[in-house]
Amino acid sequence: MKDVTSLSIDLAKNVFQLHGTDKKGNAVLKKKVSRTKLFEFMVNLNSCNIYMEGCATANYWGREFQKCGHKVKLINPKYVKPYVKRNKNDANDAAAISSASRDPEMRFGEVKTQDQQDMQSMHRFRGLLVRQRTELANQIRGVLSEYGISISQGINNLKTEVKLILAGTADHPHANKLTSELLECLQENHKHLKELDEKVAFYDKKLLSLFKNNEVCQRLETIPGIGVLGATVLASTLGNGGGFKNGRHFAAFLGLTPKQHSSGGKAKLLGISKGGDTYTRTLLIHGARAVLAASSKKNDKLSLWLKRLQIQRGYNKAAVALANKLARIACMVVKEGNKYDLNYKPRFLKAA
């Protein structure tokens, strides 16, 4: 126990596999611990470096271990997989985490604070409700199309049309196409759609409240294309920015940088990697599209760059390129504690 300077933990629901090493990297502890005994074990362990995969419950346990005086680092499970030897089991997984942690070029993640996790959890709940609302709207649209009722795209058009159908207006073109049984089902689904709207609005208000009380969120909102949703989700991901070396590192983390398939000195870049959080990347790209649409009426530095890029590469590539830039800007805004400045220059250039 005293020789353990680094402890790797394979997380699970009820049984946790521990793999401890000394200063030389030799394994001095291999042990299974139940969920009820894990915290007690960590309290009695001398302060050391704790490594875990960045998976379910990692942030909770990371905060608990930090309270015991340990230093905690998270590793992307994709980076651990190559270190698993032969068959996959808990012991080999814990040993793989230990091997990955000793890689001098390994990239580690930071443990989220409870405030960060609160914001992220609200976005997850809201995202689920939005998906359910979209699925229900598509289901209603599909069913009505089977009865010859075609509705224009857009959820607001759907709500308006369904409301008119349920009102039973005599002169409505679709008034007599549906039976009373189907109208009853349509009414129930329309009611459910309204309930989902109310629940989404509830989370919008909660996120707005968090936004107004968070100084980091308000600084992020000064960046073009980033609103309340974008600012809160970026704040929950970035924290204080300490987990990312620079803006490009954060853009790569979100999957906004090109995949590479190079060999023999010939560089070949493909589409973006899409390796990070889809939700955050989607919000950034949607925000970039809004900025791109407004750039045609502006002549500032950013808008002129976007106009040239759109002519050279097309609308979609320009939007993704801007999303990449917004991610980099957001990272540096958080790390340096400044608001967005169109004429920003890195600190090393200012000192030159």
Confidence class for position 32, pLDDT limits 50, 70, 90: very high
Confidence class for position 139, pLDDT limits 50, 70, 90: very high
Q: Per the structure block, which two tokens stand in for 159?
A: 């709500």
Cα–Cα–Cα angle for 231, 237, 243, rounded to 5 degrees = 130
| Arithmetic mean of pLDDT, 247-260 | 89
Residue-level pLDDT at 183: 87
Residue-level pLDDT at 21: 92
- Asked if pLDDT for residue 256 goes beyond 70, the answer is yes
Beta-strand runs (E) in the chain = 6-10, 15-21, 27-34, 49-53, 71-75, 108-109, 258-260, 269-272
Q: For residue 18, what are the β-bridge partners?
A: 9, 31
| Residue appearing with tokens 């608001």 | 339
Q: Per the structure block, which two tokens stand in for 202?
A: 């509830």
| Arithmetic mean of pLDDT, 195-199 | 96
For 217-234, the pLDDT digits (tens) are 999 999 999 999 999 999
For the entire predicted model, the pTM comes to 0.85
Residue-level pLDDT at 16: 94
Residue-level pLDDT at 119: 93
- Asked if pLDDT for residue 349 goes beyond 80, the answer is no
| Arithmetic mean of pLDDT, 96-112 | 92
For 148-177, the pLDDT digits (tens) are 888 888 899 999 888 888 887 555 666 677
DSSP 3-state of 120: helix
Q: Per the structure block, which two tokens stand in for 80?
A: 């651990």
> Which residues does 221 contact at the CB level (< 8 Å), separation at least 6?
211, 227, 228, 230, 231
Residue-level pLDDT at 245: 85
Cα–Cα distance for residue pair 69/43, rounded to 1 Å: 9
Residue-level pLDDT at 351: 42
Residue-level pLDDT at 344: 66
For residues 320-330, one letter each, b for 16 or more C-beta atoms within 10 angstroms of the residue's C-beta and e for the rest, the string is bbbbbbbbbbb
- Asked if pLDDT for residue 350 goes beyond 50, the answer is no
Q: Which residue has the higher pLDDT, 310 or 275?
A: 310
* Percent of residues, the chain, with pLDDT higher than 90: 60
Q: Per the structure block, which two tokens stand in for 352?
A: 């030159």
Q: For residue 49, what are the β-bridge partners?
A: 6, 71
How confident is the prediction for the chain on average, in pLDDT?
89
| Residue appearing with tokens 């390994």 | 106
Residue-level pLDDT at 165: 85
Residue-level pLDDT at 166: 85
